[in-house]
Chain A
């Protein structure tokens, strides 16, 4: 009898762990629209050759100017906000080609700076919410905000940090741009 109970407990434990692992693959909150509430951008300059294997390799050369865009978002369902501070990052070269457009994966506050990390594997589905798709090439880039000086930096997936070019920061706040998550719902 004891053995049966022990086996049952072990199996249940494994079942529970398996469920926890699956949970990390999606965050469930269906949404019917996305609102852009604010946005900012700044330029960075590529200095030297990009690290081999990085997201920027093959797309930029020494001296290129890239623009980093960030949009703060809210996901809505039936008129109510259903998400907590999502955002999107876009990296564009001087010709307007998008090198990356990733959704936020994590946030960290390490005074005197805060960092926002964006992952290529973060996808959204209006019927589900956020789904982590690990089948795509995995890249993670970050925007670092120096709180004391209010200076931004971009960090590529190889860990190289590119400081903001002074005077290039532009922001728009109080935006109310609503995008329907369903075709025909605009």
Chain B
């Protein structure tokens, strides 16, 4: 009986840990779109190797900014 209780307790604990881990939000401050910003930051006379030095993280847009852009685009595309 004790072994069964211990076994069930351990199973429950592991499920709890798994559920807790699933709620953690994944944050990726640096995304893979840095290449697009790199192309805007060096002139045509510079060597392309300088692009590798531009790897700053882009700022995520706010919910309000994204909604505003969506609203604008949707209204535009459906305008008469």
Known A39-B77, A90-B75, A175-B77; contact A181-B61, beta-carbon cutoff 8 A: yes
Chain B residue with the shortest CB-CB distance to A20: B19
Q: Which B1-34 residues have C-beta < 8 A from chain A?
A: 1-2, 5-6, 8-9, 12-13, 15-16, 19-20, 22-23, 25-29, 31-33
Q: CB distance A12 to B37 under 8 Å? A: no
Bound-state CA distance A117–B8 (Å) is 41
Q: CB distance A36 to B5 under 8 Å? A: no
Which of A52-60, A108-116, A125-133, A152-160 is the interface stretch?
Answer: A125-133
Q: CB distance A90 to B69 under 8 Å? A: no
Q: CB distance A5 to B75 under 8 Å? A: no
Q: Which A88-119 residues have C-beta < 8 A from chain B?
A: 88, 90, 92, 98, 101, 103
Q: Which A1-36 residues have C-beta < 8 A from chain B?
A: 1-2, 5-6, 8-9, 12-13, 15-16, 19-20, 22-23, 26, 28, 30, 32, 34, 36
Q: CB distance A179 to B5 under 8 Å? A: no
Chain A residues positioned under 8 Å from B27 (CB to CB): 30, 127-128
Q: CB distance B5 to A2 under 8 Å? A: yes
Chain B residues positioned under 8 Å from A90 (CB to CB): 71, 74-75
Q: CB distance B36 to A41 under 8 Å? A: no
Q: CB distance B9 to A184 under 8 Å? A: no
Residue from the list B23, B33, B70, B77 in contact with A185, Cβ < 8 A: B33
Chain B residues positioned under 8 Å from A148 (CB to CB): none
Q: CB distance A15 to B70 under 8 Å? A: no
Residue from the list A26, A40, A126, A175 in contact with B61, Cβ < 8 A: A126
Additional A-B contact list (20), CB under 8 Å, known A5-B8, A127-B29, A183-B61: A2-B5, A8-B13, A12-B9, A15-B20, A16-B15, A34-B70, A36-B70, A39-B77, A69-B78, A71-B73, A125-B60, A125-B63, A128-B26, A170-B78, A177-B73, A179-B69, A181-B60, A183-B60, A184-B37, A185-B36
